[in-house]
Structures are given as C-alpha cells and as structure tokens.
Structure 1
C-alpha cells in the first residue's frame, strides 16, 4: 500500500513539522513518526488549573557596568584589558567585612563603638552625692525643734543656727508649705524663717553644725557675703569603682562587657600560671646560676601579682584614687582648723622644753629596760631636776 502525505492528518503533520523543523513531510520515515509519535511529543502536557502562573517581571533590566579585570591572564597594558560585567545592585548588597572576620563589625548605638557608657548610679561623676543616694536633707516636722543647721551662705552674718519653732502648712489660708524658725547659735536675737523646701536642699543647708574642714568653699571670704560652702564629694561609686564609666552591656557590642570579660579571664589565667610556677620553683635551692635564676623569676612574678591585685576594682589603687582629700587639708588647699591648733600646741611644747625646764640627759635606748609607768618617769625627772638645781 502506497502512502501519501496528503492522507496524514493535518494536525499531526503540522506538529511534526514544527517539532523537527521540517518544511514538508516527504519521506515515509517522517510520516510514520508522525503517525506513531506519542502524545507528549506531539502535544506537550499543559499546566494544571491550580498551578501558579509566574509572569515575567516588568521591571527594567539591571544596569550593567564594566569593571577592570585583574586576573593573571590579563594583558600587561591596562588599556587592552578586557573588562568584566558586574551588577552594582548585587555589589551594594554585599556586607563589607574585615580580613578574617566571619561577619561585619557594626558600630554599637549605645556606646558609639568605644565600649563604655556613663555610669547611671553616679551620673558619670565617679563619686556619690553628699547624702549618698538621698538627694535631700531629712526634715521631720514632728521633731524638727531643737535640731542644728549650717547655712552654706552667710545668713544675717551667721552660719550656725538652731531650730526654735515651726509653722505647718495651711493651704486654706494661702500657705502651701511649712516653714521653720531658726535662731543663730552665737546671737540668739538673730532669727530667720526658712521654708522647708529650701531647708531640704543640700546645696543651701547642711544638717548639724559643720566645721570649716567639713565643707568645700567657693569665692573670696573677704567679700561681704563671704565664701560659699558646697558639700564635699561623697564616697566613690561602687558601681563604676570611681571611674564614672562602666562597660557597655548591650548585646553584640564587641568592645563592651564581652571584651572586659575576656580580659578578666586572661588575667585570671595568668595569675593561676604564675602561682603554679612560684609553687613549683619554691623547693629549688638558691645555689648556682639555676637557683639564682629561679629566685629572680619568683620575685618578678610576685611583683607582677601584687601590681595586678592593686589594679583590680576595689583594690588599693582604687582606694587611693578615691581619697582626694590629703591629710591635714580640707580639700581646697587650705589647712583645717584642727591641724592649726595641733601645730600651735606642738610649738608651745617645744618652746617649753627648749627653755630648760627639762634637763638634758641621755635618754634610754630601745633595748634598755623602759620604766613601768609614766608617773614614775615624771617623778624620776623631777628628782633629777631638783638635785641639779641644788648642786
């Protein structure tokens, strides 16, 4: 039976021609293929009805720029190098990381990357206020009569006052706050009424009779108003060890508390190593070069351990740093009244001793037997002085 292309179905011939790129079906092989071809070849499977159809995005194609290639196979001439195509939108999305870092180092918004923040307990001053965590003076209206107060500014010529009366608040008659009646201790005729709100202010009044060395002073004492007293700084803040700043506690801050913790671990590990070495070399003798080297090593390690202990928070260095008032000073460079009185007493005693009231004699050495009591020593000196006068 002869075959003919005209006898084949038109839809089969069209699909075979389109699939295999044939312009006509002029051979038996192509005809037989068209007749026996599977349905998935001649008619591809359509997408299911519930499938999501994704359309081609209508946005503009990404801008393509040319970047110079720095490969080893690039020509020596820079003008002859073949640039490579890069997408700036993708390049901008890449995170800039440091060499060897797994992730980018972002600046902490709490500390700005420095790793420390202001101490909230002391406000960054390093020392507590005059009353510690109590910002105001305590005034008990039930027992305020008889209490003593010190004015930081000279009030009617005086600074020390005593409470002799009180006046409670009477809002119905237009008196919103209570007041106290103070009298000068050195002149009872000088009195003044002070509002309780003003009396609670630590920058204006201090509870009790304060001496000159108990306060800091600002201004010239020769002025009509005199110098102005201010409270002395309180104890060093225990939260920041008197530094005024604490490590940043924000999570993810690489320079904050995490770094301090790692440094502390390194210091503790070093201390343990030093102590082990000192204990291991303690039994070795000091003879020879090896013994001298071991002894020198122990001395150096002990010195370093001592310095590390001083540098710790709350150590001796921190206590010395917090003690701003030197001995014999009131904090503003002036000597306190107590030291001035003791110096006058010492001068009088020295003058009396140099006048010859006490005879010159050889005082006993430290290794000699000391007298049993001071009374016997004075009696002995008196007898010696009387015997010298009679002679």
Structure 2
C-alpha cells in the first residue's frame, strides 16, 4: 500500500509543461490524503505547495545556463551536490511503501540523480516528457534544421552527427553526459517509463528501453473554456508558450504578418523584447493566469503551435482543442496526425512562412471551415488527453503495480 509519494523534478516553479505536471501531481496526491515530498533542484520557493502540506526538499541551484560556462559544463554532467542531497534524503526517509516518480533532471539535477536513486529503482517510475532518457540532445532531431533524427542514440553515427543547435563541441558534451547517464541508468533494464504519447514508443525503444517498460499515459487537460468557443465569429490568432526559438513565436509572428492577421502572444522569454520591436502590430501580453487565458481564448479564431522541433505532446494544443479552437501545428509534432485526422486543424512546416500564412488565411477567411474545425476540436479530440482525475488514477495505478512487483 502506498503511503508516501516522492516527486522529483528540476524545478519547483512552472517554466514549462513538464514542471507544471509534476507540481499538479504533487498537489493532487496531497489532496487525496497521501504524504508527498517534492524533491527539486532549485530553491523550492513554492508557497502554494507548502501550504498544501507538501514537504519540499530543495538543492538551491539554478538552471544550467544561469551559471558560468565552466559550472554548466561540469555540474550538467554530474551534479555531486544533487546526488548527495537525494541520497541522504533516501537513507533517512525511505520505507518499503514509498514510491518515487522522476519527471525532469536535465537542467539541474543532472545524471547524478540516477546514481542517487539506484537503491530504490524497484519502486521508481519515470515520465518521458521529452527524450533525454534516450537521446543526447533530448529531441531526436537536428536542432539547427528541425529534421527528425533516425539514428540510434550513442551509435557511431549519432556521436558523429552535428545535431546540436550551438556547435559540434557542445554535441560532444551532450554525448559525454549521456554516457555518464547510461553508466547509472541501463535502458535495457529500465523501470517503467510513462510516455506522454504512444508515438514516443519507437524512439524510446531505439535507445534500448524495452517495449514492455513503456506505457503511454496522455497528459491531463483542463480546457480554458467549458463550452465551445465560437471560433467562426472571431478573428485573432493565439500563441501561448515560452518566447524562445524552440517554440517558434517568431515564426508565428512572421506568418501572421504575411497573412494580414493579428497575433496575440501570451508568454514570456528571451525573444520578447526583439519580437515586440519587430512586430509592433502584434499584441504581447506576457505571462497570464488561466482566468485571463480563458478570456483571450473566447476571442480567438485559432491557436498556432509552430515549434521548431518535434513536440512529443503540446499541452496548449490540447487545451485549445478541448475549448473548441482549431489548431495549426508543426507537422513533426506527435499530435499533428491526430489533429488533422479529427478535422480539428492543419499541420504545417513552420519555417515555410508562405505556406504557414496560407494555412492561417484558410481558416481566417472561411467561416464554415472554422466552425467545422471548431466543432471537431471540441467534440472529437477527447481521446488525446485525460481529465486530471483520470490521470491521477492512472499514476496511482502505476505506482501500486510497481510496489506490488517490488514486494
């Protein structure tokens, strides 16, 4: 019987979907009466989590790129302080009824985490929000072009491929980090891996993770709007996400301008200042709470998600779909085929500005099409995600099975 759940993640403040899900699970477990500990690499400054009674164990480090280059190079490969913190906590607190769930480690905790949690691997599960369990650059993609990678991770071809967005030297650093990770985590004998989309399975298996160890567990979704947004009555294009190159806000702005449409951008990041200077006709709202996002969604014609690299999921796309918004999505995103098959949106190559703009105009200028896509999004995409309660039920079931096997 589960009596203590330990959630492990680099960050305790949401910067992206993976951290938001780790935090949501901790809150939900506590609400159901479980003892919950949240182990994090940052300073653990999350009063809401503490107020719910979640114990926070914090390292106090910052993300890799926040420190100096030498610190990032060394601590990113093996953060000894993180390993020591986790190992000490396990030695002092572990019980046979404690389960561990690892979400993210690539930004702070580093592959040293795998060494620290080795004693409890029999009661451990991983979430694959990305591909860092399997691939040195975490994306199975050539990051300068966005092309999908077909190589076997850590094979000679992989090691020789210049797939990093910065330089080949940085790729070799990633290879070294992956080698350290594999020293402590043997994918051939992996604990259960919860993949956020079934299409992740062959990629994870390419790294040696057994088919039987992989379980598809879609993300939980709470739609922004409880009734269908009448997208056919609206005009604005919506972008929600971090304002960094990986998410493609610059590609969205360029395509919206080419289409003669207004883009409303919700989110923050390093590109915000330059985007505001280059696209003064667009609306930049910064970070917004869910209640405000609902208001913007009710006035939107569509959502665009033009990520430069393959997205294993794309939480904002699912939130938009369940609210009744058509979605234009990168054709390499794993949700792309599902969205197109449901008639709920279009898949595009986001670097092709003219084609992207044409897709925007198609939905913007055809009210009947916008309505059909909106109705399909609202009514025919429920199988792409789980409700929060169903998601928590599935997690608890995975934990219980893990405990039973350990016993």
Q: Above 0.5 in TM-score? A: no
Return the structure number with greater helix share: 2
The one of the two structures with greater contact order (alpha-carbon pairs below 8 A, sep at least 6) is: 2
Q: TM-score, normalised by structure 2?
A: 0.17
Q: TM-score, normalised by structure 1?
A: 0.18
Which protein has the larger Cα radius of gyration, Structure 1 or Structure 2?
Answer: 1
